[in-house]
Amino acid sequence: MSTKLLLNGAGRIGKAVLKQLLENKDFEIVIINDINPYIENIVYSINYDSTYGKLDDKFKIVENNYIQNSKSKIKITHFNSLDKIDLTNIDIIIDSSGKKEDINLLKQLPVSAIFLTHPNKNADINVILGANEEKLNPSIHKIISTSSCNATALLPALKLINDNKEILCGDIVTIHPLLNHQRVLDGSFVGSATRDVECNFEFGRSSTQNIIPNKTTTITACSYVLEKFNKELISSNSLRVPTDTVGAINVTLFTKQSSTKNEIIELFKEYEKTQKFPIVLNNIEPLVSSDFKKERFTTIVDFRYLEVKNNMIKLLLWYDNEWGYASKVVEILKYYEEIKKGK
Ligand SMILES: NC(=O)c1ccc[n+]([C@@H]2O[C@H](COP(=O)([O-])OP(=O)(O)OC[C@H]3O[C@@H](n4cnc5c(N)ncnc54)[C@H](O)[C@@H]3O)[C@@H](O)[C@H]2O)c1
């Protein structure tokens, strides 16, 4: 029998998760809840997407607030809080609304698990594949954060280098596409009621005309998963750029043991060959960000820009912050179900 899901928030991440789950017979999305009050607009934005293109098997509105295509029929609701939704027959909630819901309220909901698509220190666990998935335990973890897109891309690489060379300190710069909460043209600064990023004036500036420097919660998100990788060890900042999707992270690490470029290349090659989940992909082609669009691997190591000087390692990592991240949400969901069923 398939696992019954409620998808809360049909925005950029919600729709990428939805489209990847539509192909998977083990899961059925029974309800989509979004505060957008117009079902016509929700179905339109599922069918048509400027970044990933049109859906071949389009949804239509059918009776009583349902949408349907040739394979799926999904109820649409418009509540602003999960506790108002009838959860009879729902096994798991994927909350991709970005709302920072009270964790105690979430714990009371009659479902077996709630996946949050943002880092959350109050969750029962923050999971990143390739970092701490072995800690995931369905009998004690109900509120499961799937961390952030940047931390999902970065932490497996940091862990690999740390396990082999011991990181002493480092710095990262995320080069991040624009996001839906930014301004199109200059406006007042963007508040952050639903996000951990501090308010700053730069964030009220036009996202299509600027490279916007910003703080990032990437390292804090990493520390919720593996404590060692925190702001004392690694400094960080972010540059928001006017592209639709695919981010890059420029990583500089100082390690206890020195390395050669070939050693680091071999570490990532071995990881790519032996990994259980689609995490590391090594690239030697002269590619640009849009070439990684819709790529499900999320730690794409660009060997062309890998540098090693004694105790310093410099990496360039790529990841599709929407599709790639959503693929990890789905992988964690599949993994959760596997260990729950004792597979
Ligand atoms: N976009 C990314 O690159 C990215 C990557 C990883 C994680 N995330 C995280 O995923 C979450 C969603 O981000 P997004 O980029 O998809 O945002 P988005 O603005 O594109 O989508 C959010 C959706 O949730 C709906 N919504 C808002 N409040 C709601 C509520 N109370 N109940 C139900 N629906 C509600 C909105 O109407 C919208 O459709 C955020 O926490 C974000 O930090 C985003």
Cβ 80 under 6 angstroms from ligand 1: yes
Query: pLDDT tens digits, residue range 165-205?
Result: 999 999 999 999 999 888 999 998 776 554 555 667 888 89
Q: With a threshold of 0.90, does the pTM exceed it? A: yes
Residue 282: pLDDT band (50, 70, 90) is very high
- Mean pLDDT score, 120-134: 97
**Domains of the chain (ranges, CATH numbers):** 3-117 (3.40.50.720), 150-321 (3.30.360.10)
Burial bucket for residue 240 (CB in 10 Å: 0-12, 13-18, 19+): buried
pLDDT at 138: 97
* Residue 169 known to be catalytic: no
pLDDT at 198: 60
Tell me, in angstroms, the distance from the centre of ligand 1 to residue 57's CA.
24
pLDDT at 194: 47
Tell me the CA distances in angstroms from 320 to 104, 177, 191, one per residue in order.
32, 10, 25
pLDDT at 296: 97
Residue 238: pLDDT band (50, 70, 90) is very high
Cβ 78 under 6 angstroms from ligand 1: no
Query: Is residue 119 within 8 Å of residue 146, measured between CB atoms?
Result: no
pLDDT at 64: 77
Three-state DSSP class for residue 40 = helix
Tell me, in angstroms, the distance from the centre of ligand 1 to residue 130's CA.
24
What distance in Å separates the CA atoms of residue 67 and residue 65, rounded to the nearest whole number? Answer: 7
Buried b (16+ CB within 10 A) or exposed e, 248-282: bbebbbebeeebeeeebbebbeebbeebebbbbbb
Three-state DSSP class for residue 319 = strand
Please enumerate in sequence order all residues whose Cβ is within 8 A of that of 17, keeping only pairs 6 or more positions apart, or say none: 7, 94, 96, 117, 326, 329, 330
Cβ 278 under 6 angstroms from ligand 1: no
Query: pLDDT tens digits, residue range 68-122?
Result: 999 999 999 999 999 999 999 999 999 999 998 999 999 999 999 999 999 999 9
Name the H helices within 91-191.
103-108, 149-165
Query: Is residue 130 within 8 Å of residue 153, measured between CB atoms?
Result: no
Alpha carbon 61 to its chain centroid, in Å, reads 29
Query: pLDDT tens digits, residue range 310-327?
Result: 999 999 999 999 999 999
| Residues facing residue 248 across a β-bridge | 175, 318
Cβ 9 under 6 angstroms from ligand 1: yes
The ipTM, to two decimals, is: 0.99
Query: pLDDT tens digits, residue range 219-235?
Result: 999 999 999 999 999 99
- CA Rg value for the chain: 20
**Minimum CA distance residue for ligand 1 atom 33:** 34
Which of 13, 295, 329 best tests ligand 1's pocket when mutated (most atoms within 8 Å of CB)? Answer: 13
Instruction: Look over the chain and give the mean of its residue pLDDT values, rounded to a whole number.
Output: 95
Q: What number of helices (H) and strands (E) belong to the chain?
A: 7, 17
